[in-house]
Chain A
Amino acid sequence: MKEETVIKVENLTKQFGDFTAVNAISFEVKKGEIFGFLGANGAGKTTAMKMLIGISNPTSGEAEVASFNVYKNPNSIKKNIGYMSQKFALYDDLTVKENITFFGGIYGLTRKQINEKRQLLVEELGLQEIVNNLVSSLPLGWKQKIAFSVALLHNPKIVFLDEPTGGVDPITRRQFWEMIYKTANQGTTIFVTTHYMDEAEYCDRVSIMVNGKIEALDTPKNLKEKYKAKSMNDVFLKLARG
């Protein structure tokens, strides 16, 4: 099942003036894989992610996402991926229902499909009581769970999650990861950044970016062996400052 490659990156580079934010990174991600994209603040993660989701043009290098080229077909990429971040996920001043309808419409779902998806979501997440409430009134953990589901409305091949669990309580954080496991198990690829190192352990493979380059890329188990570390936190502390 995990043979098909859904993200293929070769020497991808982004320069801002004379500053190289992303320096010739290369990696591949398979279908259904949970891929952890780690790095210190300012290491270049967000810049790299922006290129992969088709909203920033690379300076050089190649990348294919969901079998579309980042230079030629950035708009096709956008249609075939889901995206959520801690900073932006849902519209606070719309209700849960309105958000689902809005994002369903943006992704080109029919009215019928949107209605079906909404009912499914309400049932799965137990949203019956809050579906007509404004998103701003919900606890962060709820928002993030709904945002993740909304990012999956159009059955994307890959979903990009930028620090999805920052500040979320420990129980909800785990429920969120169970949703991630479930989604990956159904064949959707998960590309996730996080500052929680226990979450890094949940990933199939992890890359660690330092000053624009990928310094390490392997399974958590192999990384711990290689760097003689007890946990991913130790691996990160050893690597992240070069």
Chain B
Amino acid sequence: MSISLKNISKSYNKVSALQNITFNVEKGELFGLIGPDGAGKTTLFRILTTLLIANKGTASVAGFDVFKDYKQIRNNVGYMPGKFSLYQDLTVEENLNFFATIFGTTIEENYDLIKDIYVQIEPFKNRRAGKLSGGMKQKLALCCALIHKPKVLFLDEPTTGVDPVSRKEFWEMLKRLQKKGITILVSTPYMDEAALCDRIALIQDGEILEIDTPKEIVKHYPKAIYNVSANNMYKLIKCLKNYEFMYSVYPFGEFVHYTDKRDLFKPNDLIEFLKQNELQNIEISETQPTIEDTFMELAK
């Protein structure tokens, strides 16, 4: 087991940030913590990286206890916080050298681990970190978190605010790191990234809603979901919300995801209802639930 948590709870004054969090991450696993801002993801990261002490419960990382063996943990993990935390007034190369030196190693010694990522920022190695673009900062931060060849990598919202193309590239890098045997715990508010993890924990308001593989999680969705579309999205949402048999209504891209209270739902009834409300070009078809549907159902 690479990461293990048992009944971890943490509160700040009266505000509870985490409640009885229990889960394990296997060696070499890519494990995702999926939840919105304020769910408690960062608190969990800070406890596992020994920067914060839990009020209750036990946790271990790479076989070391987060409380007793905090020094060993710090030597064995890489941590990329959500907020850019490198030295803005050092250059790319100076930052990397600094982190290598602190961990008693050199860039050359572990270069193979960061090579794929570092070559992309190497042309800017003499630029100060503060002057880099968002995507390049992210790559430098990942290099710095990897330079001492950690057993476990903690990435707190590495892709928040990053465009879809850079996000895709970032996940491809993570997959390559995983193949080198590094255990990765990554958090994200983007539900589409959840599908790229081996297993995920859905987290909201300091509690875990569910833990499983992305495929299994969507199987647990309790209802049939329908894609509904019409000529006016705003009016469609309003009408659906007023339909007496409505169970849930959520806009999903070009469609609205609709679920019905009844076991036997007749799409034609709904089409009639929408027509009476002066909607046109109405289309209804059954669709597959996504992780986001599941999350919203559990978080309701």
Verify if A92 is at the interface (C-beta below 8 Å from B): no
Verify if B168 is at the interface (C-beta below 8 Å from A): yes
Lowest 5 A-B CB distances belong to which pairs?
A: A169-B36, A201-B253, A181-B234, A140-B37, A167-B37
Verify if B38 is at the interface (C-beta below 8 Å from A): yes
Bound-state CA distance A237–B299 (Å) is 30
Query: CB-CB contacts of A159-172 with B at 8 A, as 1s and 0s?
Result: 00001001111111
Query: CB-CB contacts of B147-168 with A at 8 A, as 1s and 0s?
Result: 0000000000100111111111
User: Who on chain A is nearest to B134 by CB?
Assistant: A41
Known interface pairs A41-B133, A237-B168, A241-B165. Does A172 touch B254 (Cβ–Cβ under 8 Å)?
A: no
Bound-state CA distance A42–B138 (Å) is 14
Q: Within the complex, what minimum Cβ distance (angstroms) separates A171 from chain B?
A: 5
Verify if B214 is at the interface (C-beta below 8 Å from A): no
How many pairs, one residue from A and one from B, have CB atoms within 8 Å of each other in the complex? 98
Verify if B233 is at the interface (C-beta below 8 Å from A): yes
Verify if B250 is at the interface (C-beta below 8 Å from A): yes
Q: Give the interface centre of A171, A182, A185 by most chain B CB atoms within 10 Å.
A: A171
Bound-state CA distance A170–B38 (Å) is 13
Verify if A28 is at the interface (C-beta below 8 Å from B): no
Report yes or no: A171 in contact with B165, Cβ–Cβ below 8 A: no
Bound-state CA distance A86–B157 (Å) is 16
Known interface pairs A184-B234, A202-B233, A240-B164. Does A168 touch B36 (Cβ–Cβ under 8 Å)?
A: yes
Residues of B within 8 A of A172 (CB): 36
Interface residues contributed by chain A, number (CB under 8 Å): 39
Task: Name 26 A/B residue pairs within 8 A (Cβ), A-sorted.
Answer: A40-B163, A40-B165, A40-B166, A41-B135, A42-B133, A42-B134, A42-B135, A140-B36, A166-B160, A166-B189, A167-B37, A168-B189, A169-B37, A169-B299, A170-B191, A170-B250, A170-B292, A170-B295, A178-B237, A195-B161, A195-B163, A201-B254, A221-B254, A237-B164, A240-B163, A240-B165
Residues of A within 8 A of B190 (CB): 196
Verify if A233 is at the interface (C-beta below 8 Å from B): yes
Known interface pairs A42-B133, A202-B251. Does A236 touch B164 (Cβ–Cβ under 8 Å)?
A: yes
User: Who on chain B is nearest to A184 by CB?
Assistant: B234
Report yes or no: B204 in contact with A169, Cβ–Cβ below 8 A: yes
Bound-state CA distance A139–B38 (Å) is 7
Verify if A220 is at the interface (C-beta below 8 Å from B): yes
Verify if A197 is at the interface (C-beta below 8 Å from B): yes
Bound-state CA distance A152–B204 (Å) is 30
Residues of B within 8 A of A241 (CB): 165
Bound-state CA distance A236–B35 (Å) is 24
Verify if B102 is at the interface (C-beta below 8 Å from A): no
Report yes or no: B254 in contact with A41, Cβ–Cβ below 8 A: no
Report yes or no: B237 in contact with A41, Cβ–Cβ below 8 A: no
Residues of B within 8 A of A36 (CB): none
Query: CB-CB contacts of B204-217 with A at 8 A, as 1s and 0s?
Result: 10000000000000
Report yes or no: B163 in contact with A181, Cβ–Cβ below 8 A: no
Residues of A within 8 A of B119 (CB): none
User: Who on chain B is nearest to A45 by CB?
Assistant: B163
Bound-state CA distance A51–B180 (Å) is 47
Bound-state CA distance A24–B292 (Å) is 39
User: Who on chain B is nearest to A172 by CB?
Assistant: B36
Report yes or no: B204 in contact with A198, Cβ–Cβ below 8 A: no
Residues of B within 8 A of A182 (CB): 234
Known interface pairs A170-B191, A182-B234. Does A195 touch B162 (Cβ–Cβ under 8 Å)?
A: yes
